[in-house]
Chains A and B, each alone.
Chain A
Amino acid sequence: MLVSSSTASGSRSRIKLGMWLLLAPLCLWLLLLIILPHIELLSFSLSDPDEGGLTLSFYGEFFNEPLYWRTFLRTAIMSILATALTLVIAFPVAFFIAKMIKGRSKGILFAMCLIPFWVSELVRTFGWMILLRESGVISSGLQWLGLADSGVELLYTDATIMLGLVYSAMLFMVVPLVSTLDSLDDSYIEAGYDLGGNNWNIMREIIIPHATPGIVSGCIIVFMLSLGNYLTPVLLGGKDSLWFTEQIYTQFITRFNWEQGSAFGILLLLLSSLIVWLGLKVTGQSFTKTMG
């Protein structure tokens, strides 16, 4: 009795040790790359470089300077818009892949969504620049067709930024959508038709409610990616792109104002958390449900 209980507790402690070893890389990653830098950011943003001690002046600066908070608002609105656009474009694609086709071609189509992401984001964005610049492929094509007299500059507009954002985030919307739509048994859709439903209300009452967790998790990922994107707005939007990450970059690198940059970083974190929380509340989803 004594022997067996001691071995039982021994194996239990071994299981515990194994679990900690397994969790160690995750904990280290969280601690070193996420938690510590953010504590550092927070302390930077609140410290006064001249006199020492705590100050809220860097946060005050954000609200006093219209350029800052307007850029902030613009970034948020553009990101929400990009998320909505990505959803609208990705849903039919995902529905087609998950429900309309069967067998081999399904895998091929899914892979075709994936393949562009084997190329680095920088190279893909340059690809867009080659297409869209004044002496680029589309511009020359328009001139050759006689539709334009001189070179057309398609870069450096909000629409171009939007295009880039939607393109770079598309996969992250398609994947969760395909997996939730895949899990919807065809018989539910057939039952919908059998009971007199048409395409529209089957979509509204059966497919979309089923796909909501996938839609929400896709939207969260895409929104986060757009909000924190730096390359796409800078390269496709040019100098006037006015993206908030750019402001952070400027503070850190150009102005050497690390305190201001840190305050902006913390504000961006708060903003994204707030919008995600609002989104979950509005759709009635919980975070664990959409991620699980």
Chain B
Amino acid sequence: MQTDAIDLACENICKHFSEFTAVDNVSFTIPQGSFFSILGPSGCGKTTLLRMLAGFESPTSGDILIKNKSVLDVPPNKRPINMVFQHLALFPTMNIEQNIGYGLRRQGVAKAEIAERVAAVLKRVGLPDSGKKRVDQLSGGQRQRIALARCLVLNPTLLLLDEPLGALDLKLREQMKIELKQLQKEFGTTFVYITHDQSEALVMSDQIAVMNQGKFEQVGTPHELYYQPKTAFVASFVGDTNRWSGVVKSSVNQEDHQTQYQVTTNDGLTLDCVSQSSDIPVSSNVDVFVRPEAITVSLSAMDNCLENQLECQVENILFDGAKSQIIAIDKQSGGCITAAMPQTADFMGLKAGDAVYLSFSAKQALSFSEKQGEMNASL
């Protein structure tokens, strides 16, 4: 690893508020120019972590390094870090130009140069004519871009974003996700983005850290988090998933690092599944996760090589265009299973009450040994 390309490094950051531990021994590094997201449910400590990076809180222990220099003693107004606030915090008493120029005026940049740089950044975010407008004359999406421009005009080493898309409506949010990613690429600034919305994190990020109860559960690319979750929390928090609790009956080691287990679920199903860890003892409790889109739906029983096949009856169809889902009741156990609706002609006429067969391979049924504290994963 070439260390000069690391923009931000956090070493064993802890933050305690009297009784409560908000951030618990978190370490990570962010390479230059990347889009790093911290994803977690509300109350997981992600905002506290971000505020420590910005300098509004100081960690109880640990160190924050920017370009290999500790910034713990640097106050927020001297750090090469800027932040886009949750509600943007554009100053309502100033017009757009003055808002963007605020930081430059603080650096003592000459008036003519301020005007020049403000105009340039406004052009780059696609709002070249809005300099004289008041903040309340802009739409939500435009304000978003102005808030970004206000930070980016200062050429920060690191840009922090605190769920800035939360206040936008769905359509605009989808559009801003793409726009944000585009702007990040164009400016080449390192972004640290915190959100509770997995889709925002998956679409935009190079790296995602999933945070829960003050700890990082897993750090990886969106692809890794989605397909190879390391903990039950990550499996349930990132993407939709079906979940069974059960007991391990037997285990077989396979060549490719994975161990295949046979699990009897609490409602009486027998499932073949795999796990990243090979040390789950027989007769211990596990949770099995299967994604709706990993399930093959067929109208008749298949003689294929998929290890798990369940005979079900369609309970309901949640129609949502391409993201439609089938809710099916498993005949053997009576449990509910969600599967992605195939978009082929065979299933056009599928309706509640029809019989379907749901099958999935053992490789797509991930099991995690049940631990305390991971039970409150919000599904």
Contact = CB atoms under 8 A, between A and B. Distances in A.
B91 A194 contact: no
A196 B106 contact: yes
Given A185-B89, A187-B89, A210-B93, A194 B106 contact: no
Interface string B62-104: 0000000000000111100111011101011110000000110
Interface in A193-223: 193-198, 201, 205-206, 209-210
Contact of A187 (B55, B86, B106): B86
CB-CB nearest 3 A-B residue pairs: A196-B106, A195-B103, A209-B93
B150 interface: yes
A185 B89 CA distance: 8
B154 interface: yes
13 contacts: A185-B89, A187-B87, A190-B54, A191-B91, A195-B106, A196-B107, A198-B106, A201-B106, A205-B91, A205-B94, A206-B91, A209-B93, A210-B93
A196 B77 contact: yes
Contacts of B76: 190, 193-194
Contacts of A193: 55-56, 75-77
A190 B56 contact: yes
Given A185-B87, A201-B106, A205-B102, A194 B93 contact: no
Contacts, number: 60
Interface string A173-196: 000000000000101101111111
B106 A197 contact: yes
A69 B103 CA distance: 51
B82 A194 contact: yes
Nearest to A196: B106
Given A205-B102, A206-B93, A210-B93, A194 B54 contact: yes
Contacts of A194: 54, 76-77, 81-83
Nearest to A212: B93
Interface of A: 185, 187-188, 190-198, 201, 205-206, 209-210
B326 to A, nearest CB: 44
A188 B91 CA distance: 7
The majority secondary structure among interface residues of chain A is helix
A255 to B, nearest CB: 52
A107 B323 CA distance: 52
Contact of A191 (B78, B81, B83): B83
A190 B78 CA distance: 13
B93 A196 contact: no
Contacts of A198: 77, 106
Contacts of B150: 195
Contacts of A206: 91, 93
The listed residue with most B CB atoms (<10 A of its CB), out of A192, A193, A198, A205, is: A193
A196 B103 contact: yes
A186 to B, nearest CB: 9
Interface in B332-362: none
A187 B93 contact: no
Contacts of A210: 92-93
A291 B103 CA distance: 33
A192 B82 CA distance: 10
A111 B87 CA distance: 32
Contacts of B89: 185, 187-188, 190-191
Contact of A195 (B55, B56, B93, B154): B154
A206 B90 CA distance: 10
Contacts of A188: 89, 91
Given A196-B77, A196-B107, A206-B91, A190 B154 contact: no
A190 B94 CA distance: 16
A191 B106 contact: no
A291 B324 CA distance: 55
Given A190-B56, A210-B93, A195 B87 contact: no
Contacts of A196: 77-78, 103, 106-107, 154
Nearest to B92: A210
Given A188-B91, A210-B93, A195 B102 contact: yes
B149 to A, nearest CB: 12
A276 B18 CA distance: 51
A187 B291 CA distance: 40
A190 B93 contact: no
A190 B106 contact: no
Contacts of B54: 190, 194
Contacts of A201: 106
A197 B94 CA distance: 15
A137 B275 CA distance: 83
A187 B103 contact: no
Nearest to B108: A196
Interface string B138-157: 00000000000011001000
A185 B102 CA distance: 18
Nearest to B51: A190
